[in-house]
Structures are given as structure tokens and as C-alpha cells.
Structure 1
Amino acid sequence: MSEQLPSGGIELSPGEIDALHVRWSSCWPPSEVAQQLAGIGAPWYVAAGWALDLFRGRQTRAHGDIEIAIPAASFPEVRYRFPGYVFDAVGSGRIWEDATPEVLAAVHQTWLRDPATGNYLLDVFREPHEGDTWICRRDERIRLPYSDIILHTRDGIPYLAPELVLLFKAKHARRKDQSDFNATVPYMSPAQRETLAELLDRVHPGHPWIADL
């Protein structure tokens, strides 16, 4: 994805950004997302906080939205699944409604919107990749086969491995991120904790979580 943002879009004030949670109140749970994407050929996974709850086997807190990730080149396959909806691109406090291909090429985050209600149902990250190899947005040196980073619940919902979810959460380490870290680490295997420590040392040297692993 290009780092230069496209022109246009709607710039949101801090208050408008805070108010967006109302429009996410009807977002789908992971089971509904899995149903909507059943049989899709592209690798995809639930990301962020919901992924950690899927890893732990139960919902541990409220989630303001639901995020999934797919290889960027596979976005048309996902878009095809939702003919009655529109995708808005978002980035740096701006929204591009019903985003054009040019806008989609410049930002990686995309919100699925129900045009009848204006509500958002799903947040889709379009991730860098090379074929079947996932590339980390935070550090392109980190490259892993999708088969290594996607885990599944007992009923088949795909989710991102917890060590990678926590790597993304480490950048801001908000209160909910710290809570997610504290609640997840006891469930992780020694190998997963070791991998997370190594990734943190590479991407966020000196991060306080390293000592806790």
C-alpha cells in the first residue's frame, strides 16, 4: 500500500470519531462473518481483540467492532460476497465512502457499511503478501506462510495467532491492549511466548512486555 493518502474523503473531528461506536453497534459476531465468507478461496482470519477471545475459547470483554484480514489481492473476492453493501476506506482520521480502486490502493483499512442503516458491520484489513506468504505491515522483514499464522476454533472460525495479535497491540498498548496481554499470555505455549518476545524485540525494542514473557 502507498503511504501517500489520496485526496478527497471526509475528515472527521475527534468527536465524530468517538461517535462512530454507535454505527458499529450492529457489527457481526465472528460466527456470522464465518458464515458470510464460507467457502471463500482466499485465506482470511479474525484479527485484534476478537482473535484473542477465539484463542481463549470464550468472549472475555465487549468488542466495539470486528476486524478481519485478507491478502490485499483477494479483496475483490470478499467484495463480491456483499453485493448489497458498500465499502468505505478509512485512514488518518478520514473516510472515503464507497471507495474507488485508487483509494483502496492507498490505504489498508476498509469498513463494510449497510447503506440502508448507515451502520458498519465488518472491518476488513487488506494486508501485504507475496502469494501465500503473509507480510507484516509493521516490519516487512517478518514473513510467514498463512498456514503458520492462521489458527481455527473447534467450529472452524479462522483467527490470527495470538503472538501476532499482541505484536500489533504492542504499538499503542492502550488499557484494553494491556488487559488483553495479561489475560492471553497464561494461555500461550512457551514457543508462542518466545516468538512474541523475539518479535517485540525486533519491532519494538525495549517494550515492557518483553520482560513479562
Structure 2
Amino acid sequence: MSERLPGGGVELSPDEIEALPTRWLSCWTPTEVAQRLAGIDTPWYVAAGWALDLFRGRQTRPHGDIEIAIPAANFSQVVDRFPGYVFDGAGSGRIWEDAAPEVLAAVHQTWLRDPATGDYLLDVFREPHDGDTWICRRDDGIRLPYRDVIHHTRDGIPYLAPELVLLFKAKHVRRKDQADFDATVPHLRSTQRRSLAELLARAHPGHPWLADL
């Protein structure tokens, strides 16, 4: 799904984009996020690179930020957990500070900011869904029950199924994405490898990762 960006917001300069990682140096860990969201009445999960480390049971590389995902309609439940913080909309090199509802309806990324320091602590993806059914943002024909896409660590931290994390990473295949693929595939069950191959063939026909599955 492509984003139709709203007006307003601030377009970041190349220097500001380059400096963004320094604003994430204080971001929370998966454990800290899980503690803050304990008991919340909506499905949620750790996404992206951290999710693969949770699947493998240890941190394998540095992470510049932390991303979680929730059903878009339930975003207010997350907001209620963080009084005193601000949620900025983000997309395509722009930031909408303290994003208005029309911005949140148009972009899927929301960065939680500590207004006292300007630091970003958490990236919240507001994902498409149909009730209890998860819908893939890249291909809305890929639909699965939340109970199938969310896995948990031994201490209860929810994370996205690794085959789905790799599906999202397959679009750009940056150096870290290739490293995550190489480190994760040996740990996948045969059913997960088969599922990833089927998803890649659907979303990215001819993808080079298919040869390794």
C-alpha cells in the first residue's frame, strides 16, 4: 500500500536526516516496551530487526531504533499509555510533530517523542487489519489471524513471525537485511521456510532469496 502524504509537516534536510540516529540513542528495549504496554487490550508485536533477535533468543547486532506494530484502529490505546509524551507522524523524509488525526490516517509510522529532550523512544506502525485479521501493508491479499502472526518469547514479549519480518525486509535488501536473512533462515522450521518462499514468490517474484529457501 502506498502512502498519500498530507500537507504540512516539516521536510527534513539531508543534514537533519543524517542526524536522526542520534535522536534514537535513548530508545527503549523490547523488555522496556513490553513492561509499559503490559495488559493493553490490543494485539501488538515487536517488528523488524528486533523481532528476529527475539526469535533467535539473543541480540545479534546493534539496533538504531525499536519498532512495534498495532492494529490502526487501536492506536488510541497505545497513546493512553504514554501521557506526557508526543507522537509525531513520519513518512518520506517528513515529520508532522504532534500529528493530527488526518496525518495519522495518511501515514503508518508514528514516532513517540520525549518533549523534554527531543529524543525518540519508540516507532509505532499502525497497520491495516479487519477485526482480528492482520493485513499485510505491502499486499492486502495476504491476510492472517493475529494469533498466527504473533509469536512470544519465553518471558512473554510478542514479536512478528520471522517469515513475515523477512518478507518486509525483502523489498530493499540493505546490508543489514541480508545479514538478518542469512542469520535467521537456518533457525526457521521447514513450514516457515516454505511459507516465506510462497510469500516472496507472490510479493517479489524472482527474488534472489528464493534460491536459498
TM-score (norm 2): 0.99
Matched to 1:107, the amino acid is V
Rounded Cα–Cα distance in structure 2 between residues aligned with 1:172 and 1:3? 17
Q: Determine if contact 1:2/1:107 at 8 Å carries over to the other structure.
A: no
1:2 deviates by 7.7
Matches within 5 A, 1:101-116: 101-116=101-116
Q: CA RMSD in A?
A: 0.9
1:128 deviates by 0.2
How many equivalent residue pairs? 213
Which residue number corresponds to residue 70 of structure 1? 70
Q: Determine if contact 1:2/1:105 at 8 Å carries over to the other structure.
A: no
Q: Which digits, 9 at most, give the CA deviation of each residue in 1:78-137, with x for residues without a partner?
A: 000001100000011100000001110010000000000000000000000000000000
Is 1:183 paired with 2:189? Answer: no
- Structure 1 runs of 4+ aligned residues shifted over 4 Å read none
Matches within 5 A, 1:49-128: 49-128=49-128
Q: Which digits, 9 at most, give the CA deviation of each residue in 1:122-162, with x for residues without a partner?
A: 00000000000000000000000000000000000000000
Matched to 1:144, the amino acid is L
Instruction: State the identity as a percent.
Output: 80
Q: Determine if contact 1:111/1:121 at 8 Å carries over to the other structure.
A: yes
Which residue number corresponds to residue 25 of structure 2? 25
1:4 deviates by 1.9
Rounded Cα–Cα distance in structure 2 between residues aligned with 1:83 and 1:156? 24
Rounded Cα–Cα distance in structure 2 between residues aligned with 1:6 and 1:138? 20
1:5 deviates by 0.9
Which residue number corresponds to residue 155 of structure 2? 155
Rounded Cα–Cα distance in structure 1 between residues aligned with 2:71 and 2:105? 13
Rounded Cα–Cα distance in structure 2 between residues aligned with 1:144 and 1:106? 23
TM-score (norm 1): 0.99
Rounded Cα–Cα distance in structure 1 between residues aligned with 2:193 and 2:30? 25
